[in-house]
Amino acid sequence: MKELHISSQRRNQMIDITDQVQQTVIEEKIIDGFVIVYVPHTTAGVTINEGADPDVQQDIMETLGKLIPEN
């Protein structure tokens, strides 16, 4: 099992970890199987976004900001 440690720089931030996950698959010589991404922190999460529409990330961040305001 391999762990990746990702640190955010802001309160609300989306970080694309695709490259790190792909590199890990290559390094571990994985041919078949699954990659499980788990975030143990209670205020963090994982989204899956194909990246085709750059507005989707902004829409998600704006919606989260409305649902969960800073104050």
Please give the pLDDT value at position 70: 82
Of residues 15 and 51, more confidence is placed in: 15
Q: What is the pLDDT of residues 8-24, one digit of tens each?
A: 999 889 999 999 999 99
**Boundaries of every domain in the chain:** 18-67
Confidence of residue 29 (pLDDT cuts 50, 70, 90): very high
What is this structure's pTM? 0.79
Long-range CB pairs of 44-53 (<8 Å, 24+ gap) are 44/8, 47/14, 51/16
Please give the pLDDT value at position 5: 92
Q: Which amino acid is at 40?
A: P
Please give the pLDDT value at position 54: 84
CA angle 12, 18, 19 (to 5 degrees): 115
